[in-house]
Amino acid sequence: MTGRTAPAPAPAMGPSLQAAVRVLLLGLLIGAQILLVPQGASETLWREDAQRMKVGLKLFPASLAAVEALERRRGPDGKLLVLVAYSGTGAAAREAAAGLKSVATIRDLPLRVALVSAVELDVYAGDRPAAVFVASVGLEPRRLRAWSERQRALVFSPFADAVEEGAVAGVRVADRVRPSVNLVQARRAGIRFKPYFLEEAYAYEPAVDVELRASFLVNFALFIHWPSSAFDAPSAPLRYCVLGNAALSASLGQALVKERASGRPLRLADARGAAQWRRCHLLYIDHRAAELAPRVLAAVEGAPVLTVGDTEGLVQEGAMVSLVHLGGRLRPLINPAAAERVGIRISSKLLRIATLVSDSGGREP
């Protein structure tokens, strides 16, 4: 104990504040002039990169504001530390830092902004940052990934392809300008975004992760047994449903073609309305549908529907399975007791490769 007084708890983000942040985000998306980089040293960047820097400085505050439990990321001084990382002379980084200092607070939490070179950040051991704003083009992808994972921080880079290469968040320029998030890297860094933000942002997931997730779901049919009462007829299909992840739905639809299990065809079914949820045999609830999850779980309670998610929290809330990254690999968390209560039996072969979870939400040894 050092005798240092812990920062006072920040107020919870109530509905009115969440609505205000969402309005801010929407304003940024349509080009509201919230924050501009002054002219000058940013001219050392190529024109496209300079424009991305300007847009990034607008989107960064909204991206950081959307991080769950942001108040827990304050430093010993009660402030959110934002490190502005650069390589080379750092002229553009100094301008970016000045722009971020003018923001002053995010979600009523004061900011502390500091410059740090990429070399210094590689071995940084100071106060844990809430975020790293990348102010130089061309930093190696391994650095972006390492910074977010080592510091457990939001690494934001506004430059082209940075999110695909390993930044947690950045700028997406297509039919419109909006935030972009790398969901796999966010999970590795322990970053969770609020659902309203994910509804507006472009969510990048490496194709290999989506395909691996789809492969798990297809193979579940070989190791999980549903009661005969769950089907209309002996030859009726096993129905898969996906909520909140269009890329996974498309990949799963392709993977299920001509697949069968226990003599039944496997089919992707519509689950857009509550009336269809209880007709699903496997119902996948993505984190993008987090606001809908309590209603979905309540609607299928008691029915032989295998509920599957992609966060540990969903299993704790009542889902039977979650596919999560553990030790750098995609692994299933399974609550076998929850499945057994509705007549669903899970093979011991699947349970052996899974991490088991009890009804209380704790992991079993």
To the nearest 10°, report the CA torsion of 330, 248, 361, 231.
-120
Answer whether 15-204 and 208-356 agree in fold: yes
The Cα 270–Cα 2 span in angstroms is: 57
Task: Say if CB 43 and CB 96 are below 8 A apart.
Answer: no
**Is 0.75 topped by the overall pTM?**
no
What pLDDT does residue 188 have?
A: 87
What pLDDT does residue 132 have?
A: 98
Fold of 208-356: Rossmann fold (3.40.50)
Where exactly are the structural domains of the chain?
15-204, 208-356
What pLDDT does residue 31 have?
A: 38
Q: How far does CA 148 lie from the centroid of its chain?
A: 13
What pLDDT does residue 315 have?
A: 92
What pLDDT does residue 2 have?
A: 40
Domain at 15-204, CATH class? alpha beta
User: What is the bridge-based pairing of β-strands 329-334 and 321-326?
Assistant: antiparallel
Q: Mind giving me the DSSP string for 225-250?
A: E--GGGSSSTTPPEEEEEES-HHHHH
Question: CB neighbours of 204 closer than 8 A, spacing ≥ 6?
Answer: 163, 164, 180, 181, 182, 183
pLDDT beneath 70: ranges in the chain: 1-46, 207, 328, 360-365
Amino acid at 84: V
